[in-house]
Amino acid sequence: MNTPNAPESGEPLPLPPDLQGDFKGLLIRLRESIIPEIHYLDDEEVQLVIRMADYRQKVPLNIVRIGAMLFIFAATIFLLTRWFLPLPSNVANNVQMITGVLGIVLLFLIFNEVQDLLLYEQWQFILTDKRIILITPEPDRHGFADAIYLKRDKIQVLDTNWSSSPLWGAFQAFKGTRDVMLSLSGYEFQEEGAKVKGGLRFPDVSPEDIRRLEILIFN
């Protein structure tokens, strides 16, 4: 005997409403932990939004695309030589070993580049008429990010530096971008020179954004 509103044969049973709410809430909290949602005040006006330079998104994205195509090619060759192509066993084994190792290397490369794409989304500097809002990766929890809200007059020092990465340093040399050091406590003077004290390094900021940031913060 069929019960009322019973799903047709083969259809998955729907989750109870309370479990649907819990699952949706879990997804929202997970998304908020990875890329936090910004909560603006009433009548708050955004004046400047700074993200990392566009090559920090384009380079990993292109590597992921090329890596995915090569992985599909390697996996296809692996499967063909394993089940379909009538090759000598020693040749098939060598091809499978090469394509298998290549597939593992490509998966590792794709995973690393996806992490770089996530970092691109996690770095944001937002200046409003009331506050400074920073979205940065959490240093103690890999893959997660946090939103920081500051008063406009909290930043005392804005300094620029070269990237410590040779790859992104080369892009900075061509594009004129720099890492921006933001500090709440100023410089610390040493015998060799001045050093930003307790600074936050925002990677790969364009020269135009650096100039606009200096004007809006210190003017």
- Whether 12 shows a pLDDT value over 60: the answer reads no
- Whether 154 shows a pLDDT value over 50: the answer reads yes
Identity of residue 141? R
Cα–Cα distance, 157 to 161 (Å, whole number): 13
- Whether 88 shows a pLDDT value over 60: the answer reads yes
**What's the rounded mean pLDDT across residues 162-178?**
94
Indicate the range of 148-162, 164-178, 184-198, 205-219 predicted with least confidence.
Answer: 184-198
pLDDT at position 7: 47
Q: Which residue has the tokens 């069929």?
A: 2
- Tokens read off for 47: 């004046």
- Tokens read off for 209: 């954004």
Query: Is the model more confident about 27 or about 107?
Result: 107
Name the nearest CA neighbour of 39 among 126, 117, 158, 159: 126
CB-CB contact of 108 with 9 (8 Å): no
pTM for the complete prediction? Answer: 0.77
List, edge to edge, every strand of the sheet that includes 199-205.
157-161, 178-183, 199-205
131-137 and 145-151 strand pairing:
antiparallel
**What's the rounded mean pLDDT across residues 125-152?**
89
178-183 and 199-205 strand pairing:
antiparallel
Identity of residue 54? D
Cα–Cα distance, 26 to 185 (Å, whole number): 38
Q: Which residue has the tokens 């620029």?
A: 160
CB-CB contact of 70 with 106 (8 Å): yes
